[in-house]
Amino acid sequence: MRHGARLRLRVLLLILAATAGLAESAVAEPLVAAPLGAEWPPAGQVRAPAETTGAAWGRLWRLQDYNTRIVLLGTGLLGLASGIIGSFTLLRKRALMGDALSHAMLPGIALAFLLAVSGGYSGRSLPLLLAGAAGSGLLGMVVILLIRHGTRLHEDTALGIVLGVFFGAGVALLGVVQQMPAGHAAGLEDFLFGKTASLVARDAWLIGAAGAASTLICLLLFKELRLLSFDDQYARAKGLPVVALDVLLIGLVVLVTIVGLQAVGVVLMIALLIIPAAAARFWTERMDWMTGWAAGMGGLSSLTGAGLSAVYPGLPSGATIVLVASVLFFASMLLAPARGVVSRGLRRRRLTRVLIRQHVLRALYAASEAFGEAATGPSRSAAGDGSAGASAVAFTTLLAARSWSARDLRRELKRAQRAGFVARRPDAAWSLTPAGWKCAARLAREHRLWELYLLTYAEVAAGRVDHGAAMIEDVLDPQTLQRLEAMLADELKQQSADSGRLDSGGGAAPQTDSHAEGEARA
């Protein structure tokens, strides 16, 4: 155990060192290419369509274009990594952290530029700008955590404050930067808003390195991060360095945001951190699967979006990636089997139907009981044409038995009739068929046993009553069941002796019905 942890730590350090080296070599040369579209892309910079769409698709599939290959590789890796990181931040309820931090980077970038220029260096130096961005992003993170833990304000307010104030400071600093000689400021404009619509190999390598490193870190620390995301109190109790893990997670967000800024722009980078993870959440209840889904969807939407924009030059690639991801999100939200809107709606409908069927059968049974048939069963109805004799109940009686609408009741009676549980007599009264009687008797017995159980062993019940438990035998142990049976028999005996009070005690008294039901299901 200890050994494994130490090994993982060593691997982690190796990865970090390698990334730092790779990133350094990748950014050592001057900035050549810039983002595909940023916060506000300058209008009118669209590549002219040079070939037909069909030919473009062909070129895309065969990956003939060097440029396309690079773009697909870079954005695909970015989508993959941000999907993985996003699923942790989503479960930690920090989805908008990326939004706040990416805005918080602006003053750092502007300040780095100002300092570099007034120090006599080139303001276009990418490592310097990245360092500025990372510095003020991390400061923003510290401020968010301080506000959240040190004041009475909530996390969302902390995010809003940091976003507004840091971005304001950045705008003010940019106002100063714009007064510098034009040649100096151009590099910053490139960095922030982008001038060309393509990635070059170096950018792809940078994104690839950062993406691969953050993916690996997440995989190595999967267990710890999972615990942090679900229950940080428990993680703290288990002795995990919660603050360090939190900082690491937010640091990863800052890392991919910075490299993604280069590829897809600020807002669209935020989208990649949120949308795939939120979409993945609909498909599964397991963290490891969710991470996989999020990575897959992030990668898929990046590849599809970048591919589409390579084929249709009128589509800006960053925005297209996000649109593809949003389509995936809404499709998941509607159609996913585990938590999708449609499947949850269907499940609820089924449950409602089961419940109203049970209520109808029990109401019919209770009403028939009033005629004194409970002990004997529907002897006359079995002989006749399937409809009971004296045990038939008028519709109005049934309607008064519960607080249900006439429409619901009529619809359910028809449905039960089709299923062969009830029959309708010529005088419009309803009765139970033999099959219905059997089922209703079982339901009534279970219901009354539950009522008794809750009354007698109430403090035990809360913990042991299961939502979906249909059969009382599945939940209660045989001894308890026997005791309850005996009690029920006693009460029935007493009731038959005291025949004037039909709906007292263990009988299915309509007034107490819904109340007991609610208790049993809660």
Partner 1 sequence: MSGIAGWNWQLDGWIVVAGVLCAVAAALPGNFLVLRKMSMLGDGISHGVLPGLAAAFFLTGSRSSLPMFLGAVLFGLLTAVMTQWIRDFGHVDEGAALGVTFTALFALGLVMIVRAADRVQLDPGCVLYGAIELTPLDRWTLAGWEIPRVVVVLSVVLLLNLVFVSLLYKELKLSSFDPALATASGFHAGMLHYLLMVVVAVTAVASFESVGNILVVAMLIVPPATAALLTDRLGRMIVASAVLAALSAVLGHLGALVVPVWFGYRSTTTSGMMAFAAGLLFLLAALFAPRYGWLARAVRQHQGAWRILAEDLLAVLYRWDERRPGQSVSREQLQKQLLSGPLASRVVLIWQRFRGRIRPVPGGWRLTDHGSRCGRELVRSHRLWEQYLVSAAGVPVDRLHEEAERLEHFTGEALRQRLGQATNAPRRDPHGTPIPPEN
> At a CB cut-off of 8 Å and minimum separation 6, what does 325 contact?
79, 271, 272, 275, 276, 279, 297, 298, 301, 305
Nearest CA among 335, 355, 382, 332 for reference residue 443: 355
Cβ 152 to partner 1 shortest distance, Å: 6
Cβ 180 to partner 1 shortest distance, Å: 9
Nearest CA among 222, 236, 215 for reference residue 298: 215
Cβ 31 to partner 1 shortest distance, Å: 22
Q: Which residue has the tokens 């939407």?
A: 301
Q: Which of 35, 79, 170, 307 binds partner 1 (CB under 8 A)?
A: 170
Q: Which helix (H) or strand (E) holds 337?
A: none
Q: Which of 6, 10, 93, 410 binds partner 1 (CB under 8 A)?
A: 93
> Of 153-161, 373-381, 409-417, 452-460, which part binds partner 1 (CB under 8 A)?
153-161
Is residue 132 close enough to count as binding partner 1 by CB under 8 A? no
Task: Between 14 and 172, name the residue whose CB sits nearer to partner 1.
Answer: 172
8 Å CB contact between 397 and 368: no
Strand partners, 393: 430
8 Å CB contact between 491 and 506: yes
Q: Which helix (H) or strand (E) holds 422?
A: strand 422-424
Is residue 153 close enough to count as binding partner 1 by CB under 8 A? yes
Four-CA torsion 20, 21, 24, 25, nearest 10 degrees: -150
- How many whole angstroms separate alpha carbon 82 and alpha carbon 347? 33
Instruction: Give residues 278-337 in contact with partner 1 (rule: CB under 8 A).
Output: 278, 281-282, 314-316, 318-323, 325-326, 329, 333
Nearest CA among 307, 323, 309, 315 for reference residue 268: 323
Per-residue mark of binding to partner 1, 422-461 (x: CB under 8 A): ----------------------------------------
Is residue 277 close enough to count as binding partner 1 by CB under 8 A? yes
Task: Between 163 and 366, name the residue whose CB sits nearer to partner 1.
Answer: 163
> Of 169-177, 401-409, 469-477, 505-513, which part binds partner 1 (CB under 8 A)?
169-177
Instruction: Give residues 257-276 in contact with partner 1 (rule: CB under 8 A).
Output: 267-268, 270-271, 273-275
- How many whole angstroms separate alpha carbon 518 and alpha carbon 522? 6
Is residue 173 close enough to count as binding partner 1 by CB under 8 A? yes
Strand partners, 423: 431
Cβ 324 to partner 1 shortest distance, Å: 9
Task: Between 243 and 331, name the residue whose CB sits nearer to partner 1.
Answer: 331
Instruction: Give residues 10-39 in contact with partner 1 (rule: CB under 8 A).
Output: 37
Cβ 258 to partner 1 shortest distance, Å: 18
> Of 66-74, 165-173, 361-369, 463-471, which part binds partner 1 (CB under 8 A)?
165-173
Give the tokens for residue 392.
Answer: 């038939």
Cβ 263 to partner 1 shortest distance, Å: 14
> Of 168-176, 252-260, 370-378, 436-444, which part binds partner 1 (CB under 8 A)?
168-176
8 Å CB contact between 196 and 34: yes
8 Å CB contact between 300 and 329: no
- How many whole angstroms separate alpha carbon 184 and alpha carbon 158? 35
Cβ 80 to partner 1 shortest distance, Å: 18
Cβ 40 to partner 1 shortest distance, Å: 5
Per-residue mark of binding to partner 1, 176-195 (x: CB under 8 A): x--x----------------
Is residue 417 close enough to count as binding partner 1 by CB under 8 A? no
Residues in the chain: 522
Give the tokens for residue 262.
Answer: 């280069």
Cβ 277 to partner 1 shortest distance, Å: 8
Query: Chain centroid to CA 487: how far?
Result: 47
Give the tokens for residue 46.
Answer: 């669209």
Task: Between 66 and 121, name the residue whose CB sits nearer to partner 1.
Answer: 121
As a three-state string, the secondary structure of 471-501 is CHHHHCCHHHHHHHHHHHHHHHHHHHHCCCC
Nearest CA among 3, 7, 2, 1 for reference residue 220: 7
Q: Using DSSP, state whether 431 is helix, strand or coil.
A: strand
Q: Which of 12, 18, 139, 169 binds partner 1 (CB under 8 A)?
A: 169
DSSP symbol at 387? S
> Of 98-106, 124-132, 230-238, 382-390, which part binds partner 1 (CB under 8 A)?
98-106
Q: Which residue has the tokens 């809750």?
A: 454
Task: Between 160 and 384, name the residue whose CB sits nearer to partner 1.
Answer: 160
Q: What share of the chain is helix, strand, coil (3-state, %, to 5)?
A: 75, 0, 25
Cβ 495 to partner 1 shortest distance, Å: 39
- Residues near partner 1 (CB under 8 A) are 37, 40-44, 46, 90, 93-96, 99-100, 103, 147, 150-154, 156-157, 159-161, 163-176, 179, 267-268, 270-271, 273-275, 277-278, 281-282, 314-316, 318-323, 325-326, 329, 333, 339, 341
